[in-house]
C-alpha cells in the first residue's frame, strides 16, 4: 500500500497549478471562490485558455484532441481546477457528449463535432429529463419520427442546465413507441438554432437563472444527427451517465471552499469573538474536513480499482452521495458565517448585491446554500444511489 502520488504525478500537479496561476483571471477566481455561478464570459475565457494548452477536454485521448491523461492525472487536474477555483468546463460537451461521439459516432460526426467542443464553438446542454421522466429517465416521451432523409423531433425537455447559453443540445427521443421502455430510444445531436427549438427560463430558489425548459416543436434534423444505431440510445445514455464517476465527488471544490469559509469565519465576529473560535462551529468544520479526507481516500481507492480492473465500480454511488452531502454541508457553514446578512435578497429593485449592508460575499452564501440542494437531486438522486448500493452491492 502506498498512499502517495508518484513524483511524476506531483510534478504534473505543479504544472497544473502554474497554468492556473498564469491563466485564471483574479476577478474570476474571486467570483468563483465566493461560490457564485460563473458568467458566460468567465467560462468562455477559461475554456479558451485551456484549449490553447490542449487541456479543454481533459478526459479525451490524444487521437481526438485530448491530452491522453490516465485516470489519476485526470483526477489531479479536476481537483486542482476545482480548488483554484475556476469555472467548471462545460462538462455537457467535454465529459458527456464528447465521449459518446468518439465512442459511437461516425467518422464524419467525430470530425465535425469534436473540435468544436474543445473550443466551445459548440456549447452543449443535456436534453435528457422531461416533466414525466426524472429519476425514471427511460420514461422519456419526446418522440422522433423518420421524415424522408431526416427526423422530426417533437416534445419537451426540462431542468436543462444553461440551455440559454448553449447552441447545441443532445436529446433522448423515442423512436419506437411499441418497444419496451428502454429499447425504443435514440440519441440525437440537435442544433438549437433550428426552427421549433425554444427555451424558457426557470428561476431557481437561489434567484439565479441556471435551468430551463426546452421545447422541441416538430424540429426537423438531418439523418446525420442520429448517434450510433436507431433504438440504441439508452445504451449510449448509460455510457454517458457512467462516465462522470470519480469527478462527481468534487473533493477539490469542497476543499477549496472550506478553506475560504475558514478564513471568513476568522474575520467574522460573533458574540464578541471570531466565529472560528466558537467550539460548535469549529467542530462542524473539523467534522467536514475529516469526512472530506475519507472521501478523498475513497475516490483514490475507486480510481485505482478501476485502473486495475478496467471497469466501472458500483462503489461510485458512494462518491456521488457523500460528495453531494459534503457540498451541501459546506454551504451550511457558509450560510452560518453570513448569519443575518444572508437575509437580504439582492435581486430586483436595483440595490444590487448588498445594497444595504454586509460584506461583499454575504449574498453569495444563501444563494450557494439554496443552489446546492440540487446536487442530491440530479445526476442520480441520493435515494437512487442508495437503491443502487442496496441492490447492486449488498444484494438486497
Partner 1 sequence: MNFELSDEQRMLKDSLSRFLSDRYDFKARERVIREGGLDGAVWRGLGELGVFALPFPEEDGGLGGGPVEMMIVAEEMGRALVVEPWLAAIAEIAPLLVSADPAIRADLAARMADGSLRIAFAHREPQAEAERPATTFADGKLSGTKARVIHGAMADAFIVSASVDGGTGLFLVETADPGVTIRSQPTQDGRRMAEIHFDGAAARRLDQGDAETLIANAAAAALAATCAEAVGAMDAALWLTTDYLKTREQFGRPIGTFQGLQHQAADMFVALEQARSMAMYAAVMSERTGAERDAALSAAKVQINRSAKRIGQTAVQLHGGVGVTMEYAIGHYFKRLTMIELTHGDLDHHMDRLARLGGVPA
Q: Cis omega (within 30 of 0) on the bond before 309?
A: no
Of the pair 103, 381, the CB lying nearest ligand FAD is at 381
Residue 135 binds ligand FAD, judged by CB under 6 A: yes
Of the pair 1, 269, the CB lying nearest partner 1 is at 269
C-alpha cell at position 5: 502520488
Say if residues 342 and 362 touch (Cβ distance below 8 Å).
yes
| Minimum CB distance to ligand FAD, residue 318 (Å) | 16
Contact track, partner 1, 112-141, x by CB under 8 A: -----------------x--x-xxx--x--
- The CB-side HSE value for 90 (13 A sphere, CA atoms) comes to 33
**Cα gap 142→87, rounded to integer Å:** 32
141's CB contacts (< 8 A; 6+ apart) are 130, 132, 133, 155, 174
126 interacts with, out of ligand FAD, partner 1, none, CB within 5 to 8 A per kind: ligand FAD
Q: Considering only residues 137-176, where is the footprint of ligand FAD by CB under 6 A?
A: 159-161
Angle at 268 between CA 266 and CA 271, to 5 degrees: 115
> Considering only CA atoms, which of 298, 296, 340, 290 is closest in space to residue 315?
298
**Cα gap 396→392, rounded to integer Å:** 8
Of the pair 23, 371, the CB lying nearest partner 1 is at 371
C-alpha cell at position 345: 435578497
Q: Considering only residues 351-390, where is the footprint of partner 1 by CB under 8 A?
A: 351, 355-357, 366, 369-371, 373-374, 376-378, 381-383, 386-387
Q: How many CB atoms lie within 10 A of CB 78?
A: 24
357 interacts with, out of partner 1, ligand FAD, none, CB within 5 to 8 A per kind: partner 1
128 interacts with, out of ligand FAD, partner 1, none, CB within 5 to 8 A per kind: ligand FAD
Instruction: Choose the binding region for ligand FAD from 74-82, 127-135, 275-283, 301-309 (rule: CB under 6 A).
Output: 127-135
Angstrom CA distances, 249 to 8, 34, 100, 169, 211, stand at 24, 20, 22, 25, 22
**Cα gap 201→184, rounded to integer Å:** 30
| Minimum CB distance to ligand FAD, residue 39 (Å) | 18
Instruction: Choose the binding region for ligand FAD from 27-35, 37-45, 126-134, 338-346 (rule: CB under 6 A).
Output: 126-134
Phi-psi region of 133 (alpha: psi -120 to 50; beta: other; left: phi over 0): beta
Q: How many CB atoms lie within 10 A of CB 150?
A: 15
3-state secondary structure 316-335: HHHHHHHHHHHHHHHHHHHH
| Minimum CB distance to partner 1, residue 278 (Å) | 6
Contact track, ligand FAD, 346-375, x by CB under 6 A: ----------------------------x-
Q: List the catalytic residue out of 15, 183, 213, 244.
A: 244
230 flagged as catalytic: no
145 interacts with, out of ligand FAD, partner 1, none, CB within 5 to 8 A per kind: none
Cell numbers 504544472 label which residue? 15
Please provide residue 346's backbone torsions phi and psi, each rounded to the nearest 5 degrees.
-75, -10
Of the pair 5, 378, the CB lying nearest partner 1 is at 378
Of the pair 150, 379, the CB lying nearest ligand FAD is at 379
Exactly one of 34, 129, 243, 298 binds ligand FAD (CB under 6 A); which one?
A: 129
**Cα gap 14→8, rounded to integer Å:** 10
| Minimum CB distance to partner 1, residue 383 (Å) | 5
Binding-site ranges for partner 1 (CB under 8 A): 129, 132, 134-136, 139, 158-159, 202-205, 207, 211, 269-272, 278, 280-281, 335-336, 339-340, 342-345, 347-349, 351, 355-357, 366, 369-371, 373-374, 376-378, 381-383, 386-387
Catalytic annotation, residues: 244
Binding-site ranges for ligand FAD (CB under 6 A): 125-126, 128-129, 134-135, 159-161, 211, 374, 377-378, 381, 383-384, 387
Amino acid at each position: 500500500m502506498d498512499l502517495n502520488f508518484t513524483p511524476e504525478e506531483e510534478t504534473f500537479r505543479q504544472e497544473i497549478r502554474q497554468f492556473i496561476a498564469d491563466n485564471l483571471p483574479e476577478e474570476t477566481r474571486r467570483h468563483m471562490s465566493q461560490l457564485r455561478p460563473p458568467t458566460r464570459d468567465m467560462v468562455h475565457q477559461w475554456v479558451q485558455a485551456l484549449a490553447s494548452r490542449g487541456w479543454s477536454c481533459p478526459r479525451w485521448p490524444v487521437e481526438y484532441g485530448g491530452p491522453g491523461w490516465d485516470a489519476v492525472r485526470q483526477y489531479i487536474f479536476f481537483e486542482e481546477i476545482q480548488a483554484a477555483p475556476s469555472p467548471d468546463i462545460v462538462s455537457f460537451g467535454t465529459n458527456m457528449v464528447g465521449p459518446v461521439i468518439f465512442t459511437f459516432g461516425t467518422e464524419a460526426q467525430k470530425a465535425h463535432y469534436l473540435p468544436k467542443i474543445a473550443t466551445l464553438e459548440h456549447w452543449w446542454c443535456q436534453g435528457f429529463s422531461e416533466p414525466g421522466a426524472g429519476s425514471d429517465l427511460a420514461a422519456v416521451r419526446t418522440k422522433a419520427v423518420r421524415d424522408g432523409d431526416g427526423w422530426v423531433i417533437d416534445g419537451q425537455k426540462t431542468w436543462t442546465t444553461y440551455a440559454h447559453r448553449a447552441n447545441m443540445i443532445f436529446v433522448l427521443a423515442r423512436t419506437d413507441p411499441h418497444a419496451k421502455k428502454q429499447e425504443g430510444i435514440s440519441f440525437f445531436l440537435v442544433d438549437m438554432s433550428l426552427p421549433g427549438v425554444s427555451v424558457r427560463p426557470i428561476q431557481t430558489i437561489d434567484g439565479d437563472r441556471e435551468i430551463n425548459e426546452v421545447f422541441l416543436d416538430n424540429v426537423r434534423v438531418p439523418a446525420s444527427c442520429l448517434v450510433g444505431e436507431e433504438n440504441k440510445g439508452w445504451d449510449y445514455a448509460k455510457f454517458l451517465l457512467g462516465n462522470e464517476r470519480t469527478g462527481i465527488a468534487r473533493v477539490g471544490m469542497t476543499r477549496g471552499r472550506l478553506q475560504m469559509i475558514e478564513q471568513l469565519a476568522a474575520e467574522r465576529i460573533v458574540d464578541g469573538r471570531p466565529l472560528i473560535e466558537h467550539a460548535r462551529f469549529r467542530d462542524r468544520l473539523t467534522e467536514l474536513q475529516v469526512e472530506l479526507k475519507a472521501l478523498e481516500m475513497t475516490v483514490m481507492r475507486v480510481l485505482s480499482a478501476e485502473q486495475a480492473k478496467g471497469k466501472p465500480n458500483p462503489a461510485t454511488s458512494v462518491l456521488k452521495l457523500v460528495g453531494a452531502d459534503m457540498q451541501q454541508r459546506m454551504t451550511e457553514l457558509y450560510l452560518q458565517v453570513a448569519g443575518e446578512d444572508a437575509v437580504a435578497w439582492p435581486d430586483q429593485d436595483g440595490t444590487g448585491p448588498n445594497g444595504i449592508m454586509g460584506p461583499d460575499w454575504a449574498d453569495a452564501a444563501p444563494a450557494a446554500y439554496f443552489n446546492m440542494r440540487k446536487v442530491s437531486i440530479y445526476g442520480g438522486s441520493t435515494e437512487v444511489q442508495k437503491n443502487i448500493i442496496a441492490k447492486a452491492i449488498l444484494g438486497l
